[in-house]
């Protein structure tokens, strides 16, 4: 049995498609996804993750589409839900140097919960962060990190999922594979 076969199906089943079914995602499903995100671990329980949520046809969705790079905008326009993942860079205790890590954990929780609900997510770094800040009037202590499309799976794309082997990512001593 391959090691991949031993992974949890939520992990092995998670994909980042660029096609979505022409079907809405209900508010209650999105509430469940963000509840999963809310329970992610964070450095010192700082909980730096913040989100801007838009549904197809509303003003938030349109503004998020507008800040995407053209190649992302072309396919993401079919997603019934878009959200921006933001980080609080400071809190009452001071700077939050690991805020992006906390957001990453929150978004991964959300992505895995989406798989469980029969939804798919696609995370995008291809957007204009300055335009997003301006479009939403974000304060200086809030930084956009990612825009995510959410929907029901569309037509299969036929792209193979490719990952580096463990021998190229896990080391005992640097450059010496641990596996």
Q: Is residue 130 part of a domain?
A: yes
Q: If we measure between CA atoms, which residue out of 19, 25, 8, 26 comes closest to residue 108?
A: 8
Q: Is residue 134 part of a domain?
A: yes
CATH of the domain at 105: 3.40.109.10
Q: Is residue 36 part of a domain?
A: yes
Continuous segment of H or E residues that includes residue 50: strand 49-55
pLDDT bucket at 2, cuts 50 / 70 / 90? confident
Work out the average pLDDT over 134-159: 96
Structural domain of 121: 23-152
Predicted local confidence at residue 4, as pLDDT: 84
Q: Compare 160 and 123 and report the one with higher pLDDT.
A: 123
% of the chain surpassing 90 pLDDT: 93
The pTM for the full model equals 0.95
pLDDT bucket at 132, cuts 50 / 70 / 90? very high
Predicted local confidence at residue 3, as pLDDT: 84
Q: How many domains does the chain contain in total?
A: 1
Predicted local confidence at residue 41, as pLDDT: 98
Q: Is residue 140 part of a domain?
A: yes
Q: Is residue 42 part of a domain?
A: yes
CB-CB contact of 79 with 151 (8 Å): yes
């Amino acid at each position: 049995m391959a090691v991949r076969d031993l992974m949890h199906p939520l992990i092995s089943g998670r994909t980042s498609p660029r096609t979505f079914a022409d079907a809405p995602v209900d508010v209650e499903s999105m509430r469940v996804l963000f509840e999963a995100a809310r329970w992610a671990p964070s450095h010192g329980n700082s909980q730096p993750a913040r989100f801007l949520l838009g549904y197809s046809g509303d003003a938030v969705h349109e503004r998020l589409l507008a800040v995407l790079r053209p190649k992302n905008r072309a396919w993401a326009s079919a997603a019934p839900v878009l959200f921006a993942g933001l980080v609080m860079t400071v809190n009452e205790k001071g700077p939050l140097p690991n805020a992006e890590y906390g957001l990453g954990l929150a978004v991964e929780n959300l992505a895995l919960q989406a798989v469980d609900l029969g939804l798919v997510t696609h995370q995008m770094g291809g957007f204009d962060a300055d335009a997003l800040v301006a479009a939403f009037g974000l304060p200086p202590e809030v930084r956009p990190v990612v825009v995510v499309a959410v929907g029901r799976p569309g037509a299969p794309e036929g792209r193979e999922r490719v990952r580096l082997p463990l021998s190229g990512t896990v080391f005992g001593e640097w450059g010496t594979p641990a596996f």
